[in-house]
Amino acid sequence: MKNVLVVQSSVSGEKGQSNQLIEQFIASLPAGFNRNDVDLISKNYPHLAMAEIAAWMTPADSRTQEQAALAALSDEAIAQVTAADVILLGVPMYNFGVPSQLKAWFDRLARAGITFKYTEQGPVGLLADKPVIVFATRGGIYKDLPADSQTPFLKSFLNFIGLKNVHFVYAEGLNMGPDSAAQALSAAAAQIQSLTADLAA
């Protein structure tokens, strides 16, 4: 049984296009995949603060009760990623960037000595590599254009912690009329079929 980590960051919930594409992907997977959902909207991670970073840097047996609770936010997120064989990230574009909820989750994944380390040759990711599928939904057209701040950021962050097998399913122009939206969703569905076939192979 393989574990699929489903990370949702759309404020629209089940109506969000990124979440709907994730459900299409899950439905296309063969038997033998077990899903684990992380709804970042209901999880509601707070913005990262120095008190939480200090908790990470305090040995576990020396942490106060408050520090233990703060460190658990990061420990849980890292454990979920570590246990996954495949990661699905729903990433709508909000105001030219990733949802702040997703950024808050990323902040819990970046732990020096646990998910990355610095060497004389530069940073090295410590997580075991695995497929990461990003479902990038946008109201306009951004792919391969300077205004696409999401793609380089996501690649850079995921590579930084060791996740380099990253694939993007784009659905763009969703707010540019029904024909544009239908065409975008059809193209995304074709990408999903190709990716799920590769996973099943």
Render pLDDT for 162-176 as a digit per residue (tens, 0 to 9).
Answer: 999 999 999 999 999
What are 139-148's contacts with CB under 8 Å, separation 24+?
139/93, 139/173, 139/174, 139/175, 139/176, 140/172, 140/173, 140/175, 140/176, 141/172, 141/173, 141/176, 142/93, 142/172, 143/170, 143/172, 147/96
**DSSP states along 9-56:** --TTGGGSHHHHHHHHHHHHSPSSEEEEEEEHHHH-PPPP-HHHHHHH
Q: From residue 150, give the alpha-carbon distance in Å to each of 22, 32, 135, 169, 193.
A: 18, 31, 11, 13, 23
What are 151-159's contacts with CB under 8 Å, separation 24+?
153/97, 153/98, 154/89, 154/91, 154/98, 157/106, 157/110, 158/132, 159/125
Average pLDDT, the chain: 94
CA distance 11 to 40: 9
| Confidence (pLDDT) at 198 | 77
Task: Say which residue, 140 or 198, is predicted with more confidence.
Answer: 140
Contact predicate 21/188, CB 8 Å: yes
Render pLDDT for 110-124 as a digit per residue (tens, 0 to 9).
Answer: 999 999 999 998 999
- Spatial strand order of the sheet with 86-92 comes to 33-39, 2-8, 86-92, 132-137, 166-171
The pLDDT of residue 32 is above 90: no
Q: Where are the alpha helices (DSSP H) in the chain?
A: 17-28, 40-43, 50-57, 65-83, 100-109, 150-160, 178-200
Q: Which domain holds residue 28?
A: 2-200
Q: The domain spanning residue 129 has which CATH number? A: 3.40.50.360
Domain count, the chain: 1
pLDDT level of residue 197 (50, 70, 90 thresholds): confident
pLDDT level of residue 201 (50, 70, 90 thresholds): low
